[in-house]
């Protein structure tokens, strides 16, 4: 039985010409990381000082891609896990000392992010909360998360924000690397991004990842095959929360100061936007999308500070509409993955949700194996 | 602790050892690369030094204001106040012969994006100093990057005062405060309000640090003067329904409702409080509702309310008359308020400071600003930057909102006026700051 | 008594703010993140009409119609291509919402605005302080919900809409113009949002950005009450989210009230994902 699922997950490999695709794609995926590695050697300080923040936010974007792209469930909670991770490691480091406390801080941040996701996921998934209902349920997370962080002034510093303690990683025999220093902070962030990417990529390839895809395509059938889909969904959510928390702990050190706005609805929505625009099915595209989005916003902001969000909003409309009319599949960059996904089944009916009844809809995706 | 500028080619914040390591790692890739070569190519080879290296060309100023999002209404006034001053400075020849060039960024009312904005301004645009940020949260978010690059930040908003635990956002030699603290804004008028309206206060604020600290400061003085706090309530910044709060206020037996609600909170609350008949039952005193917020509340709901600040648009003095003329000519619709005026003062005082020390640099600004007095402030009194805690000494006014006002020109009437008010010294661990 | 009246009035105000979303999200499943912006369009249209000397009642109606027209334009140009793509409608409506807010800011500046209401006094009912205008809003909400119930349950049009939404394929085989049903539902939702925005404008702040605070509470109202149960669902959701926070806030801190309300909503979502109204009906 499991063989069938694996087959359906690997449906892309069916034709011979596509067999090499995964390897090509892996090679292609490494390009952004090679570029990011080279940047400090060629560009001046600005890129090096802001890219760590952008990369770590983009890692949070990848954690959303795991939920949304692989499992088909949109989550507005990732930014809040990210914020929790930042607070958790920051609070720990403020009170802890010792040569390796920075490492422990990361572990704690990861654990806090994962634990919150586990609690929330177990609560909702065990109750068969699905699709659009899950999306709305996760909307409560940034509302409450930022509210509580804001209210607990004595712990988190509240609205005024929380200033990062020093984060120094000691590697015996090599030296110490501080997050606050320009170059080592940059390469640490890059390394973290790469490791998270590799982890997610492995997760996608192993059986677990294929079961997630099977759940996305048809949860009821996957369940009928004997898989406890609620458990898989909860585990995926936990992993995504852990990654977001981990990225958050490094982000605190890279940004220097964080506050409740890091995990509020605005931040949560922005992640969703860039992951959607760049392509939720691909981790590397979510990652690159996050970095590019932050960079472009920052640039436009300087150019037209009063109108840039209007410009971005209109651009988003154009992108969504353009994607709809298959514009992207005609561009060479997207043709391999994009066209394969999008030209498969034209919708049978005219307007109207493809599936109907009590619990439909957010699960409807364009890719059909 | 600010970073000390090293030699121009010296990496500033990271260890030599880490550079060597990356040099070794990337030898082949860098055969033709500029690693450890001359300054100014890669960040690995040369970190930008904090002290400005340019001595010709325009003086670049990075301005960060909320131009989109919830606090846009304050952000416009804030930005325009600064730009008015920049125009005045530039039309009289600039500073030390150099014109000012403001570089404006939008904070989106979102403190999380501030660190990257500061880095853009400081590293890419190479600004000489920074001005703006609206809330304490955004100031605190800007501080680490500004401090790491040793840049001065001129902060304009009325705020809660300085406490060491919020360093580097406050108690920072590089950050200068041009807005009033609660000890300047509220303390001077407690006796008047208590004498005329009663001793029982209900403290109501938005749920964040400025209302919380302001209320605790006010409570301290109030108790000293023999008054009493009957209740203290904080509401989340996104709350829109206030009937439960209104009922609590009306049932509390308070004489005075002291408001530190801000933005949308204050407008929603005061409209509903008025509609429920609350405004007739007790006296309202707010330390937030300057011209912008009061115009949102509207004439009916705001009539009779006390407001206290260091500046109001209607003030009659010669500085303000010329200030108002320039503002109206350039920005016909902007609501100018205390924050915009603080930005105006900040720009002029930075100009005076650099002129005095003859240096466009962080040290030049710091030494020049410490103890500097500015006579052209629209507040109507000379304002002085204290060297001890970088806090501006400003006057303080208590006004009452007129009924049937039609705009900021006739919105308030003066009740009490205090010349320059010395604030309580900041609670920083090492004073003086400059 | 005071607390009970507060509870009732606040429940109805929140329900009113959410009805437009209940139509758009509850019936045709468009995750409409532009809902808050549509509320503000209604408020600003009221402002503009009042400035031109039009009396309150006509101005409110005009604001509703104007917002409906905007909804129609959006439906025809953009939204109609995405009914079968929920994720895309989410992005699209987010972008539309931001664009509307920015456009309002360019047209009306970012300054707070005020509109005048026909009544501004307060009355005492059994010792409780009650705002006349809030009572007026409550009555309007009742009338609006009653009208919706009548249209949906008692008219041929309502039957058509219900049938189409229940099963578009069959409806289409029976010759129903599905496209028109979806379009009119979306436009009706936008119109109701504009009406709600205009009606609540006198007691809430009006700035281009103010509507965003209603988006999330409205989604929770629709989903806890029960998406698709327009009248009973919205009332129950409004009582839970709006009335609930007022009730708890009368005894507890406001932060506790808000947290508790969303926590309760989460529990309801967990045990009755179809919403309270349907859960009750099924028993």
Reported as a single tens digit per residue, the pLDDT across C85-115 is 888 888 899 999 999 999 999 999 888 898 8
For the beta sheet containing B59-65, the strands, ordered from the edge strand earlier in sequence to the opposite edge, are B100-106, B59-65, B129-132, B153-155, B175-177
Beta-bridge mates of residue B414: B399
Provide, rounded to the nearest whole percent, the portion of chain C with pLDDT above 90: 51
Q: Please answer yes or no on whether C168 and A324 come within 8 Å at the CB atom.
A: no
Q: In angstroms, rounded to a whole number, what is the distance separating the alpha carbons of residues A257 and C4?
A: 44
pLDDT at B429 over 80: yes
Q: Please answer yes or no on whether C122 and B70 come within 8 Å at the CB atom.
A: no
Tokens of A188: 């640490």
Comparing A325-334, B215-224, B225-234, C127-136, the range with the smallest average pLDDT is A325-334
Mutate to test the interface with A, among B9, B112, B127, B166 (most CBs of A within 10 A): B112
Helix (H, G, I), strand (E, B) or coil at C107: helix
pLDDT at A44: 72
What do you get for the CA distance between the two ends of chain A, in Å? Answer: 17
Instruction: Tell whether A300 lies on the interface with C, counting CB pairs under 8 A.
Output: no
pLDDT at A21: 66
H or E element at residue B59: strand B59-65
Packing angle, helices A45-65 and A265-278, rounded to 10: 90
The ipTM, to two decimals, is: 0.88
Q: Which residues contact B263 (CB under 8 A, 6 or more apart)?
A: B70, B71, B73, B74, B206, B237, B293
The phi, psi pair for A178, rounded to 5°, reads -100, 140
pLDDT at A161: 83
Q: Please answer yes or no on whether A175 and B14 come within 8 Å at the CB atom.
A: no
pLDDT at A363 over 50: no
Q: How many CB pairs below 8 A link B and C?
A: 127
Q: In angstroms, rounded to a whole number, what is the distance separating the alpha carbons of residues A56 and A189?
A: 7
Q: In angstroms, rounded to a whole number, what is the distance separating the alpha carbons of residues B251 and C128?
A: 11
pLDDT band at B16 (very low <50, low <70, confident <90, very high): very low
Q: What is the mean pLDDT of residues A79-100?
A: 91
Provide, rounded to the nearest whole percent, the portion of chain B with pLDDT above 70: 88
Q: What is the mean pLDDT of residues A323-348?
A: 44
Q: In angstroms, rounded to a whole number, what is the distance separating the alpha carbons of residues B214 and C254?
A: 19
Which sign, positive or negative, has the C-alpha torsion B281, B286, B291, B295? negative
Instruction: Tell whether A313 lies on the interface with C, counting CB pairs under 8 A.
Output: yes
Instruction: Tell whether A155 lies on the interface with B, counting CB pairs under 8 A.
Output: no
pLDDT at B109: 87
For tokens 């910044």, the residue is B237
Q: In angstroms, rounded to a whole number, what is the distance separating the alpha carbons of residues C75 and C81?
A: 9
Instruction: Provide the 10 A C-beta neighbour count for residue C42.
Output: 31
Residue A148: Cβ-neighbour burial (10 angstroms; 0-12, 13-18, 19+): middle
Which sign, positive or negative, has the C-alpha torsion A147, A152, A156, A158? positive
pLDDT at A18: 57
Provide, rounded to the nearest whole percent, the portion of chain A with pLDDT above 90: 43
Question: B154-203 pLDDT, tens per residue?
Answer: 999 999 999 998 889 999 999 999 999 999 999 999 999 999 999 999 99
**DSSP labels, C81-134:** GGTT-HHHHHHHHHHHHHHHHHHHHHHH-SS-B----S---EEEETTEEEEHHH
Question: B331-368 pLDDT, tens per residue?
Answer: 998 999 999 999 999 999 999 999 999 999 999 999 99
Instruction: Tell whether A95 lies on the interface with C, counting CB pairs under 8 A.
Output: no
pLDDT at A328 over 70: no
Q: What is the mean pLDDT of residues B2-12?
A: 39
Q: Which of A54, A159, A182 is nearest residue B14 as measured by Cβ atoms?
A: A182
Mutate to test the interface with C, among B77, B79, B110, B271 (most CBs of C within 10 A): B271
Q: Which of C90, C95, C165 is nearest residue A317 as measured by Cβ atoms?
A: C95
Provide, rounded to the nearest whole percent, the portion of chain C with pLDDT above 70: 99
Q: Given the DSSP bridges, would you call strands B383-385 and C128-131 parallel, antiparallel or unpaired?
A: unpaired
Q: What is the mean pLDDT of residues A81-100?
A: 90
Q: In angstroms, rounded to a whole number, what is the distance separating the alpha carbons of residues C86 and C31?
A: 7
pLDDT at C153: 86
Q: In angstroms, rounded to a whole number, what is the distance separating the alpha carbons of residues A182 and A48?
A: 7
pLDDT at C218 over 90: yes
Q: In angstroms, rounded to a whole number, what is the distance separating the alpha carbons of residues B313 and B77?
A: 12
H or E element at residue A175: strand A175-178
Which partners does chain B have (≥3 C-beta pairs < 8 Å)?
A, C
Question: B283-298 pLDDT, tens per residue?
Answer: 999 999 999 999 999 9
Q: In angstroms, rounded to a whole number, what is the distance separating the alpha carbons of residues B161 and C144?
A: 50
Chain A residues in contact with B263 by the CB 8 A cut-off are: none
User: Do residues A78 and A275 touch, judged by C-beta distance below 8 A?
Assistant: no
Composition of chain C by helix, strand, coil, percent to 5: 75, 5, 20
pLDDT at A22: 66
pLDDT at B48 over 90: no
pLDDT at B40: 41
Helix (H, G, I), strand (E, B) or coil at B289: coil
pLDDT band at A340 (very low <50, low <70, confident <90, very high): very low
Chain A residues in contact with B209 by the CB 8 A cut-off are: 153, 157-160
**Per-residue DSSP letter, B311:** -
pLDDT at A145 over 70: yes
Q: What is the mean pLDDT of residues A101-124?
A: 95
Question: B121-159 pLDDT, tens per residue?
Answer: 998 899 999 999 999 889 999 999 999 899 999 999 999
User: Do residues B298 and B271 touch, judged by C-beta distance below 8 A?
Assistant: yes
Q: What is the mean pLDDT of residues C11-27?
A: 92
Q: How far is C117 from chain A (nearest CA, A)?
A: 32
Tokens of A289: 């999308």
pLDDT at A302 over 90: no
pLDDT at A353 over 50: no
Instruction: Provide the 10 A C-beta neighbour count for residue C280.
Output: 13
Q: In angstroms, rounded to a whole number, what is the distance separating the alpha carbons of residues A288 and A28?
A: 12
Which sign, positive or negative, has the C-alpha torsion B263, B266, B269, B274? negative
pLDDT at B395 over 50: yes
Chain B residues in contact with A54 by the CB 8 A cut-off are: 116
pTM reported for the whole predicted model? 0.84
Q: Given the DSSP bridges, would you call strands B200-206 and B256-260 parallel, antiparallel or unpaired?
A: parallel
Instruction: Provide the 10 A C-beta neighbour count for residue A128.
Output: 14
H or E element at residue B296: helix B291-297
Mutate to test the interface with B, among A301, A312, A313 (most CBs of B within 10 A): A301
pLDDT at A329 over 70: no
What do you get for the CA distance between the two ends of chain B, in Å? Answer: 12
Beta-bridge mates of residue B399: B307, B414
Beta-bridge mates of residue B413: B400
User: Do residues A33 and B33 touch, judged by C-beta distance below 8 A?
Assistant: no
Q: How big is chain B, counted in residues?
A: 434
Instruction: Provide the 10 A C-beta neighbour count for residue B419.
Output: 12
Comparing A67-76, A186-195, A212-221, A315-324, the range with the smallest average pLDDT is A315-324
Closest CA to C7 of B61, A9, A263, B243: B243
Instruction: Tell whether A181 lies on the interface with B, counting CB pairs under 8 A.
Output: yes
pLDDT band at C209 (very low <50, low <70, confident <90, very high): confident
Beta-bridge mates of residue B130: B62, B153
Chain C residues in contact with A158 by the CB 8 A cut-off are: none
Q: In angstroms, rounded to a whole number, what is the distance separating the alpha carbons of residues A239 and A245?
A: 10
pLDDT band at B17 (very low <50, low <70, confident <90, very high): very low
Question: C61-92 pLDDT, tens per residue?
Answer: 999 999 999 999 999 999 988 888 888 888 89
Quick one: how far is CA A14 from the chain centroid? 29
> Could you tell me the CA-to-CA distances from B25 to A42, B20, B29, B35, B42 in Å, in that order?
15, 9, 9, 12, 16
pLDDT band at C167 (very low <50, low <70, confident <90, very high): confident
Q: How far is A309 from chain C (nearest CA, A)?
A: 7
Question: B56-106 pLDDT, tens per residue?
Answer: 889 999 999 999 888 888 899 999 999 999 999 999 999 999 999 999 999
Composition of chain B by helix, strand, coil, percent to 5: 40, 20, 40
pLDDT band at C283 (very low <50, low <70, confident <90, very high): low
pLDDT at C118: 81
């Amino acid at each position: 039985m499991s063989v069938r699922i694996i087959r359906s997950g690997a449906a892309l490999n069916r034709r011979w010409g596509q067999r090499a695709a995964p390897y090509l794609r892996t090679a292609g995926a490494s390009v952004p990381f090679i570029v990011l590695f080279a940047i400090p050697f060629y560009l001046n300080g600005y890129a090096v000082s802001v890219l760590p923040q952008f990369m770590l936010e983009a890692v949070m974007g990848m954690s959303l891609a795991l939920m949304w792209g692989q499992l088909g469930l949109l989550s507005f909670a990732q930014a809040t896990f990210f914020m929790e991770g930042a607070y958790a490691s920051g609070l720990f480091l403020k009170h802890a000392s010792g040569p390796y406390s920075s490492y422990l801080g990361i572990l704690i941040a990861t654990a806090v992010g994962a634990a919150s996701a586990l609690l929330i996921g177990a609560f909702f998934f065990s109750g068969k909360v699905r699709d659009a209902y899950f999306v709305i349920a996760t909307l409560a997370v940034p509302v409450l998360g930022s509210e509580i962080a804001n209210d607990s002034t004595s712990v988190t510093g509240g609205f005024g924000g929380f200033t990062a303690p020093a984060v120094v990683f000691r590697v015996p025999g090599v030296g110490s690397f501080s997050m606050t220093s320009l170059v080592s902070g940059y390469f640490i962030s890059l390394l973290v991004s790469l490791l998270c990417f590799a982890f997610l990529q492995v997760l996608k390839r192993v059986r677990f990842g294929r079961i997630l895809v099977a759940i996305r395509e048809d949860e009821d059938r996957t369940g009928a095959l004997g898989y406890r889909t609620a458990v898989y969904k909860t585990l995926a959510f936990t992993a995504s929360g852990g990654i977001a928390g981990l990225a958050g702990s490094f982000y605190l050190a890279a940004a220097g100061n964080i506050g409740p706005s890091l995990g509020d609805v605005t931040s949560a929505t922005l992640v969703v936007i860039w992951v959607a625009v760049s392509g939720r099915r691909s981790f590397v595209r979510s990652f690159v999308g996050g970095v590019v989005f932050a960079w472009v916003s920052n640039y436009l902001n300087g150019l037209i500070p009063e109108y840039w969000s209007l410009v971005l909003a209109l651009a988003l409309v154009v992108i969504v509409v353009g994607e709809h009319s298959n514009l992207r599949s005609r561009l060479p960059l997207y043709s391999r993955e994009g066209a394969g996904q999008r030209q498969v089944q034209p919708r049978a009916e005219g307007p109207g949700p493809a599936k109907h009844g009590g619990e439909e809809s957010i699960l409807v995706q364009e890719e059909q194996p | 602790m600010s970073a000390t500028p090293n030699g121009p080619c010296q990496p500033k914040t990271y260890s030599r050892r880490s550079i060597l390591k990356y040099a070794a790692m990337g030898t082949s890739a860098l055969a033709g690369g500029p690693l450890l070569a001359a300054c100014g190519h890669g960040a690995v080879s040369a970190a930008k030094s904090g002290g400005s290296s340019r001595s010709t060309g325009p003086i670049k100023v990075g301005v960060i204001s909320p131009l989109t999002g919830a606090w846009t209404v304050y952000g416009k006034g804030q930005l325009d106040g600064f730009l008015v001053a920049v125009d005045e400075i530039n039309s009289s020849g600039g500073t030390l012969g150099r014109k000012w060039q403001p570089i404006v960024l939008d904070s989106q009312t979102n403190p999380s994006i501030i660190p990257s904005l500061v880095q853009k301004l400081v590293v890419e645009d190479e600004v000489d100093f920074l001005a703006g940020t609206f809330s304490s949260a955004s100031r605190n978010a800007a501080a680490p990057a500004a401090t790491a690059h040793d840049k001065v930040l001129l902060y304009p908003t009325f705020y809660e005062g300085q406490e060491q635990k919020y360093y580097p956002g406050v108690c920072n030699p590089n950050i200068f405060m041009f807005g009033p603290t609660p000890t300047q804004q509220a303390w001077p008028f407690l006796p008047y309000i208590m004498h005329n309206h009663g001793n029982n206060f209900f403290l109501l604020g938005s749920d964040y640090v400025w209302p919380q600290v302001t209320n605790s400061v006010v409570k301290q003085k109030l108790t000293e003067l023999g008054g009493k706090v009957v209740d203290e309530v904080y509401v989340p910044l996104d709350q829109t329904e206030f009937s439960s709060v209104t009922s609590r206020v009306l049932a509390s037996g308070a004489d005075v409702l002291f408001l530190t609600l801000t933005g949308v909170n204050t407008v929603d609350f005061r409209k509903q409080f008025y509609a429920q008949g609350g405004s007739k039952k007790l006296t309202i005193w707010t330390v937030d509702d300057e011209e912008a917020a009061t115009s949102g509340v509207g004439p009916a709901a705001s009539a009779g309310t006390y407001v206290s600040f260091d500046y109001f648009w209607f003030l009659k003095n010669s500085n303000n008359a010329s200030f108002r003329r320039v503002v109206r000519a350039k920005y016909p619709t902007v609501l100018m308020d205390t924050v915009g005026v603080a930005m105006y003062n900040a720009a002029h005082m930075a100009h005076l400071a650099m002129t005095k020390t003859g240096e466009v640099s962080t040290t030049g600004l710091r030494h020049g600003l410490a103890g500097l007095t500015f006579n052209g402030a629209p507040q109507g009194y000379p304002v002085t930057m204290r060297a001890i805690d970088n806090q501006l000494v400003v006057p303080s006014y208590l006004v009452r909102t007129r009924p049937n006002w039609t705009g900021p020109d006739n919105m308030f009437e003066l009740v009490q006026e205090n010349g320059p008010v010395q604030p309580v010294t900041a609670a920083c661990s090492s004073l003086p700051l400059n | 008594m005071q607390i009970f009246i507060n509870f009732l009035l606040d429940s109805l105000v929140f329900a009113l703010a959410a009805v437009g979303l209940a139509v758009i999200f509850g019936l045709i499943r468009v995750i409409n993140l532009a809902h808050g912006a549509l509320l503000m369009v209604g408020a600003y249209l009221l402002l503009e009409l009042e400035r031109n000397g039009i009396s309150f009642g006509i101005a409110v109606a005009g604001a509703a119609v104007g917002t409906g027209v905007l909804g129609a334009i959006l439906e025809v140009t953009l939204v109609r291509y995405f009914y079968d793509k929920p994720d895309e409608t989410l992005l699209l409506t987010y972008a539309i919402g931001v664009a509307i807010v920015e456009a309002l800011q360019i047209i009306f500046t970012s300054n707070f605005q005020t509109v005048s209401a026909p009544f501004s006094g307060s009355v005492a009912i059994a010792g409780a302080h009650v705002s006349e205008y809030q009572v007026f809003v409550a009555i309007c909400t009742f009338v609006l919900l009653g009208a919706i119930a009548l249209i949906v349950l008692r008219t041929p049009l309502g039957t058509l809409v219900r049938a189409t939404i229940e099963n578009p394929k069959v409806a289409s085989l029976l010759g129903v113009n599905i496209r028109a049903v979806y379009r009119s539902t979306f436009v009706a939702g936008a119109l109701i949002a504009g009406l709600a925005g205009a009606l609540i404008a006198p007691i809430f702040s009006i700035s281009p950005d103010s509507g965003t605070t209603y988006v999330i509470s409205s989604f929770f109202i629709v989903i806890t009450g029960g998406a698709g149960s327009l009248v009973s669902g919205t009332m129950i959701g409004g009582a839970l989210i709006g009335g609930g926070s007022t009730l708890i806030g009368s005894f507890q801190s406001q932060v506790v009230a808000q947290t508790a309300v969303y926590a309760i909503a989460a529990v309801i979502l967990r045990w009755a994902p179809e919403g309270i109204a349907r859960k009750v009906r099924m028993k």
